[in-house]
Amino acid sequence: MGRQHWKKIWVGSAGNMVEWFDWFVYASFATYFAGAFFPSGNPTAQLMNTAGIFAVGFFMRPVGGWLLGRVGDRKGRKAALTLTVTLMSASAILIAVAPTYAAAGYGGALVLLVARLLQGLSVGGEYAASATYLTEASDPRRRGFASSFQYVSMTAGQIAGLGLQIILQRTMSDDALHSYGWRIPFVVGALGAAVVFYLRRNMLETEVYEEDISHAEERGTLRALWQYRREAFLVIALTMGGTVAYYTYTTYLTKYLSNSAGLSKETATLVSFTALIVFACLQPLAGALSDRIGRRPLLITFAVGSTFLTVPIMTLLRRAGSYWPALGLALLALVVVTGYTSINACVKAELFPTGVRALGVALPYAIANALFGGTAEYVALWFKKAGLESGFYWYVAACAAVSLVVYVTMRETKDLDLARVKAREASTVTTAS
């Protein structure tokens, strides 16, 4: 892979890392600021309120997927990636300065809600723009390897957030963290987004996009996407199991270990931090493997493992009791999830032609995340509050089972030529017009 390819992957990944730092920091610091925006009372109820606002951000992702996917297909991947990081910076600033319930009643929760809506818009377009950019910018023989850096950067963002949380936990008192310390990561996120904004303004557009000859008026439109509705529905179905499992073992894991397994917040955070470092290192290895043996074997391995291992892993995690058993189980779960995360970006991007690729990945993926990924934490807490926590384990397994059917029946995308997919687009659009 040439130097120019690496430069494009680096710039795209750096921005993705900051985007997901801001996105995940909300989840990882929720245990500290949940009480700041809602009346005192049941801690689980407070977490459910913040999880509900977290889920609302996901429901804005289809809107962001449509708007920013359209920008990415009509104005270029660079334009979409620059806009997403601008929105994310604004949302981080809003959360950093949001007033508490004691100062402004539910006004602070309203500011938090607006910030999450902006984050939803941003991330709804970021995923597709990043997946499309990384896939198009890579060597065709190494698309799996190159696109795996999307989840490397996503996970790096979460690792950075958890790392900052560990530092703050060790340098600030618990009272200080609950009082004002939780605002610090959002300030850091806003500053990081400003740096990435500068980097992305100087990034290079992909050759695949620049050489696209499809009709300009058809690019990024719902009419053009409708011609690939089968692929769009396929994206929703293959995302379902993966996104539920991913958010269960990343954003929800820390809360689960502290709120259900009885581990201290510090220990739970350290478990997640260590497991995610290993998880990030696994992504390029699995992506490179998919370039040799195909995408479907990895997807099927994930779905089989998640279907049959989720219930025992989650049950044992609840009884882990200490750092090492919890870490071992978390690593086992994330190894299984790697079969999905390492290659899902390129699989989705490979299904669509250039003129509708960003929208084709963004909108159906965002819909699937709104329905399943964004609600995973809320569903888990709902089961817990109802006294049926194990019901959530079966829910995760069932979602994976549905995706397994899709993986078994879908076509292999490893050897698809993006130029050939583009030619299909040109002939289809010509016929339609």
Q: How far apart are CA 149 and CA 284, in angstroms?
A: 7
Which one has a higher pLDDT value, 427 or 76? 76
What does the pLDDT read at residue 201?
Answer: 83
What does the pLDDT read at residue 333?
Answer: 98
The reported pTM is 0.85
Q: What is the tens place of the pLDDT at every residue in 349-368?
A: 999 998 899 999 999 998 99
Q: How far apart are CA 192 and CA 58, in angstroms?
A: 22
Name the pLDDT band for 426 (thresholds 50, 70, 90): very low
What does the pLDDT read at residue 209?
Answer: 87
What does the pLDDT read at residue 406?
Answer: 95
Q: How far apart are CA 149 and CA 12, in angstroms?
A: 9
| Mean pLDDT calculated for residue range 274-294 | 96
| Mean pLDDT calculated for residue range 59-78 | 91
Asked if residue 427 has pLDDT above 50, the reply is: no
Closest to 73 in 3D by CA, of 170, 208, 209 = 209
| Mean pLDDT calculated for residue range 117-140 | 87
Q: What is the tens place of the pLDDT at every residue in 148-182?
A: 998 999 889 988 987 898 899 899 998 999 889 99
Asked if residue 278 has pLDDT above 80, the reply is: yes
Name the pLDDT band for 265 (thresholds 50, 70, 90): confident
What does the pLDDT read at residue 433?
Answer: 30
Asked if residue 292 has pLDDT above 80, the reply is: yes
Q: How far apart are CA 303 and CA 327, in angstroms?
A: 22
Average pLDDT, the chain: 87
| Mean pLDDT calculated for residue range 374-389 | 90
Name the pLDDT band for 395 (thresholds 50, 70, 90): very high
Q: Which residue type is seen at 112?
A: L
155 and 280 in contact (C-beta within 8 Å)?
A: yes
Share of the chain above pLDDT 70, in %: 93
Name the pLDDT band for 2 (thresholds 50, 70, 90): low
| Mean pLDDT calculated for residue range 248-260 | 91
Q: Which of 11-20, 204-213, 334-343 has the highest mean pLDDT?
A: 334-343
Q: Which of 3-12, 42-51, 306-315 has the highest mean pLDDT?
A: 306-315
| Mean pLDDT calculated for residue range 110-134 | 87
| Mean pLDDT calculated for residue range 309-316 | 98
Share of the chain above pLDDT 90, in %: 51
Asked if residue 213 has pLDDT above 80, the reply is: no
What does the pLDDT read at residue 169?
Answer: 86
Q: Which of 95-104, 332-341, 350-359 has the lowest mean pLDDT?
A: 95-104
Asked if residue 212 has pLDDT above 80, the reply is: no
Q: How far apart are the first and last CA of the chain?
A: 39
Q: Which residues contact 159 (CB under 8 A, 6 or more apart)?
A: 273, 276, 277, 280
What does the pLDDT read at residue 430?
Answer: 36
Name the pLDDT band for 339 (thresholds 50, 70, 90): very high
| Mean pLDDT calculated for residue range 195-221 | 81
What does the pLDDT read at residue 103?
Answer: 82
- Helix extents (H) in 38-148: 43-59, 61-74, 77-97, 101-104, 107-137, 143-147
Q: How far apart are CA 371 and CA 295, in angstroms?
A: 24
What does the pLDDT read at residue 423?
Answer: 41
